[in-house]
Amino acid sequence: MSYKKWLLVATAIFAVGLLLGLIVPSGASELLFEGVISNLEELGGSLAQSSIFTFAFIFIKNAVAVLTSFILSPIRCLVPVLSLTVNGWIISFVASTIAQETSVGFVVSGLLPHGIVEIPALIIAQAAALSFGTMAIQALVKREKRGLLVPSLKSNFRYVLIAIALLLPAAAIETYLTPLLLNMQ
């Protein structure tokens, strides 16, 4: 399957996650993501706004997540699928919850500036992970596919590097621009 098709698959999986965040009752989502949300709140309070440390932390956290997903993708592609689904779910759940408590403008100010770069980076990286993971699984099962494994690794890892490069401006926007926009709300 071509990489473009993997981009569509990754986008569809992310969209399922977004939909889950909107249709699963908020109590169930809160229960499911209770630890994640409390960790995010705690982390947000401990990181200094607009600091180089915050920028580095956000970038490294996202880059490690993308690389881990790629490395673990041969395990039935579970990590990329979970990454896309859970990220979409959390984004839509948190966005809808915050929109109800504050305003849609506040959510847009908090998500759109860095999300317009970070979400495509996530989808690009996870599409590469799905593509490589699928090829690795096929190579385990079919001998004739084994010769395609290294070229698939090289080709897909380039997309991961592109995604990581996109995570740099996303982290900068999230660190330096988003707080300014949120303070204007």
| Mean pLDDT to the nearest integer, 47-67 | 88
Structure tokens given for 43: 């982390």
**The pLDDT of residue 37:** 60
124 contacts 155 by C-beta, under 8 angstroms: no
- pLDDT band at residue 25 using 50, 70 and 90 as cut-offs: confident
Residue 44 has pLDDT above 70, yes or no: no
CA proximity to 179, closest of 114, 104, 129: 114
Q: pTM of the predicted model, to two decimals?
A: 0.90
**The pLDDT of residue 132:** 98
Residue 40 has pLDDT above 80, yes or no: no
Which pairs count as long-range contacts for 140-146, CB under 8 Å and 24+ apart, including other chains? 140/74
Q: For residue range 119-156, list pLDDT tens digits in order.
A: 999 999 999 999 999 999 999 999 999 999 999 999 99
**The pLDDT of residue 128:** 98
| Mean pLDDT to the nearest integer, 75-81 | 96
CA proximity to 125, closest of 57, 67, 55: 67
In SS3 terms, the chain reads as: CCHHHHHHHHHHHHHHHHHHHHHCCHHHHHHHCHHHHHHHHHHHHHCCCCCHHHHHHHHHHHHHHHHHHHHHCCCCCHHHHHHHHHHHHHHHHHHHHHHHHCCHHHHHHHHHHHHHHHHHHHHHHHHHHHHHHHHHHHHHHCHHHHHHHHHHHHHHHHHHHHHHHHHHHHHHHHHHHHHHHHHHC
Residue 31 has pLDDT above 90, yes or no: no
**The pLDDT of residue 45:** 57
Mean pLDDT of the chain, nearest integer: 90
CA separation, residue 85 to residues 16, 98, 164 (Å):
6, 20, 20
**The pLDDT of residue 160:** 98
